[in-house]
Chains A and B, each alone.
Chain A
Amino acid sequence: MPKVKVKRTRPTLDMTPMVDLGFLLVTFFMLSATAAPEKVVVVDTPSSVSEIKIPDTNVITISIDKQDRVFFGVDGQNTRAALLDKVAGKYGISFSPEEAKAFSLIGEFGVPVSQLKSFLSMPMEARKAYNSQAPGIPIDSLKNELGDWVLQTRLTNPKVVIAIKGDVDVNYETIQTVINTLQDKKVNRFNLITDMEQRPTNL
């Protein structure tokens, strides 16, 4: 009896549905994506059960990192451009169009106004590298530039909400100074950015 030859065929897989799905997802993610904002400082936020989301636009973010440095950021290129104008006028510094352009594209920053000009004239990579050793925005009572930034931003765009993004290990003293600064500028309502945490069910 002759051996029954098993016919061997290369297994073929119809990939069309997979590709369809793949492209569907690509399209979806491409359209829904808003590029994650550049992380200037590493801030490990505490967690809370709060479920309020931060709005997409018109947000001032005040980040406070482990070394008590304060970083300031506001969204919107036009807001930033107008803000720089105002601050430049107040401090009597003039910025070149290139520096103004750099500022309108900047994320968060943490340099005193006096160093802002040289900071903005740096190339982008150097600026990124500099952020790890940036001094932060002065918040002490003698030279409180944070207050000026907040005030000028609010004059530029009255709709802004203020979010404080503090690191877990920041001393409360620093937070208190920031909050006092805001209250001096008549800002009594602000948001603390936190991570999500499950609400305990049994009380």
Chain B
Amino acid sequence: MAQVPESGGDSGKGGKKRAKKMSTALDMTPMVDLAFLLLTFFMLTTTFNKPQTMEINMPVKPDNEEEQIALKASNAMTIILGENDKLYYYFGLGDPAENPELVETDYSANGIRKVLVSPKVKSNDKMTVMIKPMDKSRYKNVVDILDELKITDTKKFALVEIAATDKQLVQTKTGQ
């Protein structure tokens, strides 16, 4: 601490009476209190980590339906997000005539992620994943599945509205 040495007050007997020098040491406690109060306040009010975002691009709605190129059934996979965090998937376009095999899975690392890294999906770079959330599925499910696609580095995917045939499939599956 920078201290000013106090000069002796009583040098020389009977000298002039000097004003007693005050000590320059300050009690800094209140200042420190205030400083830390401010520090705490600013630390708590600052938002350091801005929220993360996930960017999604929806396909532009085509002006006429005929210009769309049909997806080949062998390059399609459909994931259906059901209610109560249920998850189903099948390969193909879900044409009832083809009788697609609906498989139930979950959001865990051994569930849908295993399917997405399986050779059937990974080795086919034309494979397009269609995500069809049912009306009763939660928003979290959608973000979770988009996240899985990101983790497994699946580039081609689309968020599609669920078709009646898909609902039918889930119904027969759960009805069993």
Residues of A within 8 A of B (CB): 14-16, 18-19, 22-23, 25-26, 29-30, 32-37, 45-54, 56, 64, 163, 165-176, 179, 183, 186, 188-197, 199-200, 203
B136 within 8 A of A: yes
Q: How many residues of B contact A (CB 8 A)?
A: 50
Assembly CA distance A176 to B162 (angstroms): 11
Q: Contact: A172 with B50, CB < 8 Å?
A: no
Stretch in B9-17, B54-62, B69-77, B89-97 touching the partner = B54-62
Contact of A48 among B43, B47, B133, B150 (CB under 8 A): B150
Q: Which residues of A sit under 8 angstroms from B43, Cβ to Cβ? A: 25, 29
Contact of A29 among B42, B58, B151 (CB under 8 A): B42
B103 within 8 A of A: no
Assembly CA distance A183 to B58 (angstroms): 8
Knowing A29-B39, A33-B46, the reply to whether A175 touches B142 (Cβ < 8 A) is: yes
Quote the shortest CB–CB distance from A198 to chain B (angstroms): 11
Residues 101-120 of chain B, each 1 if its beta carbon lies under 8 Å from chain A, else 0: 00000000100010001000
B67 within 8 A of A: no
Say what secondary structure dominates the interface of chain B: mixed
Quote the shortest CB–CB distance from B61 to chain A (angstroms): 6
Contact of B52 among A22, A51, A167 (CB under 8 A): A51
Knowing A172-B134, A176-B161, the reply to whether A48 touches B35 (Cβ < 8 A) is: no
| Residue from the set B54, B61, B141 with the largest chain A CB neighbour count within 10 Å | B54
Quote the shortest CB–CB distance from B71 to chain A (angstroms): 19
Knowing A19-B28, A19-B35, A29-B46, the reply to whether A48 touches B58 (Cβ < 8 A) is: no
Say what secondary structure dominates the interface of chain A: mixed
Knowing A26-B42, A188-B58, A190-B56, the reply to whether A168 touches B35 (Cβ < 8 A) is: no
Q: Which residues of B sit under 8 angstroms from A49, Cβ to Cβ? A: 147, 150-151
Quote the shortest CB–CB distance from B46 to chain A (angstroms): 5
Knowing A166-B139, A192-B143, A200-B151, the reply to whether A22 touches B35 (Cβ < 8 A) is: yes
Assembly CA distance A165 to B138 (angstroms): 14
Smallest Cβ-Cβ distance to A182: which chain B residue: B58
Q: Contact: B152 with A170, CB < 8 Å?
A: no
Knowing A19-B32, A26-B42, A29-B46, the reply to whether A48 touches B52 (Cβ < 8 A) is: yes
Knowing A22-B39, A191-B53, the reply to whether A172 touches B143 (Cβ < 8 A) is: no
Q: Which residues of B sit under 8 angstroms from A172, Cβ to Cβ? A: 81, 133-139, 141-142
Q: Contact: A34 with B152, CB < 8 Å?
A: no
Assembly CA distance A113 to B9 (angstroms): 80
Assembly CA distance A99 to B150 (angstroms): 45
Quote the shortest CB–CB distance from B163 to chain A (angstroms): 14
Quote the shortest CB–CB distance from B56 to chain A (angstroms): 6
Contact of B139 among A35, A46, A53 (CB under 8 A): A46
B21 within 8 A of A: no
